[in-house]
Amino acid sequence: MSSDMKSYRCDRGFTLMELMIVLVIIGILMSGVFMLMSVVAKNADVSKTQSRIQKVQNAISGFYAAYGTYPPVELHGTTNPFGSINSDFEGEGEIDGSSLNAKACRMACRAQPVSFEYPYPQTVDSDVNMIFSAAGVMGANQTFNNAATIRDFSWSEVQMFKFGLVSFLLPRIETLGLPKENRSFSSEHPIDGFFRSAQWKHNNKTSQVTTGGSTTDLRKVLRSQRQMENREAAKWLPNLEGQIAGYGPTIFNINLASNDRMTDPDLDGVLRGRLSEADQQIDHHHPFRGPYSRGGGSATVLYCSTLKDAWHRDLYYYSAPPYQSYRLWSAGPDGNTFPPWIPLDSLSTSDRRQVAEWIKDDIVGFDQQ
């Protein structure tokens, strides 16, 4: 063989076919790596959600040990997904559930909400007015400046307090704040009218102060409630360290705040949709939910303390009277779920198949007694 031929064979590059084969092999390897990373990330999210549900279950068990029932969360909406469901949020209108509808099913599952939503100190009103001006929102203390005289107490009529699951696990007075001994309500607290409202008194049986009762009497009953709540909640509150999304207070030197974002498309997306493009840069960890407009003089937002899964969606809770069992769950990666109180065999074949697809990735915890 001539030296010219040897030189040619040594110097020639890859053919186009060889390059294509190499690129295909690299593509297959990269695809496998990405799939593996996706599976690892999904498993990590599932594990994080399972761990959070377990911790919340521990807290719920503590509540049961103290009071003999699981948290008796009242209905805040319809449990029937096959009808028109009124949205909580100002201007969103009705959700059509005349046929199987994923959002209607999710909202029916939230009839007993997880979140605790409530007014904030008066000093926060100015921040709310500035941040959410594009959404036509005013601070809660301004919107409900007549709170003491509002006689309706249902959430469907007055969106002042939402007493979901978290409101039974956090000490309410400690969370909202109360003036120190012999001090009056000030800008560092919500207006005292909230604690005189029918909605507050309906959900806090020990806080029975008349509309015209003195501030001294009000502070006295609130201090009594705080002592009782703190005594019991101290037993289970360590389970909630680092678990509360939105407004996560520090109570008994326990930092309850999590790093979860307020980005649930059903519950947090409406507010962000009303903001200007510039305002949408607001940190996803803000503590607000809304806008709400029922019962007040204008639309407002409330502080929100809630529990989310690894996909930043609120957990679900269900417990029927007499509250001796419960179900706590996440809708899983796909975000869809179905009311567990509706038998699947009552659905049509096609709807049953769809629902089975929705719930196959749900992550569920039941009562532990």
Q: What is the predicted pLDDT for the residue at 165?
A: 98
pLDDT (tens digit, 9 = 90+) per residue, 284-301? 668 999 999 999 878 999
**Domain range list for the chain:** 43-58+75-366
Instruction: List alpha helices for the chain, DSSP H.
Output: 3-11, 16-67, 102-109, 125-131, 140-143, 165-169, 172-176, 193-196, 198-203, 215-233, 269-273, 349-359
> Nearest Cα to 312, choosing from 35, 48, 95?
48
Supply 81's token pair: 């997904």
* Ordered DSSP codes for 1-54: --HHHHHHHHH----HHHHHHHHHHHHHHHHHHHHHHHHHHHHHHHHHHHHHHH
Q: Which residues of the chain have pLDDT under 50?
A: 1, 5, 7-8, 277-278
Q: What is the predicted pLDDT for the residue at 78?
A: 93
| Total-model pTM | 0.87
Q: What is the predicted pLDDT for the residue at 87?
A: 86
Q: How far apart are CA 245 and CA 225, in angstroms?
A: 25
Q: What is the predicted pLDDT for the residue at 278?
A: 45
- Whether 292 and 132 have beta carbons less than 8 Å apart is answered as no
For 311, counting Cβ atoms within 10 Å of its Cβ (0-12 exposed, 13-18 middle, 19+ buried), the class is: middle
Q: How far apart are CA 18 and CA 54, in angstroms?
A: 54
pLDDT (tens digit, 9 = 90+) per residue, 157-166? 999 999 999 9
> Nearest Cα to 168, choosing from 19, 54, 307, 366?
307
pLDDT (tens digit, 9 = 90+) per residue, 116-142? 999 999 999 998 988 887 778 999 999
Q: What is the predicted pLDDT for the residue at 130?
A: 85
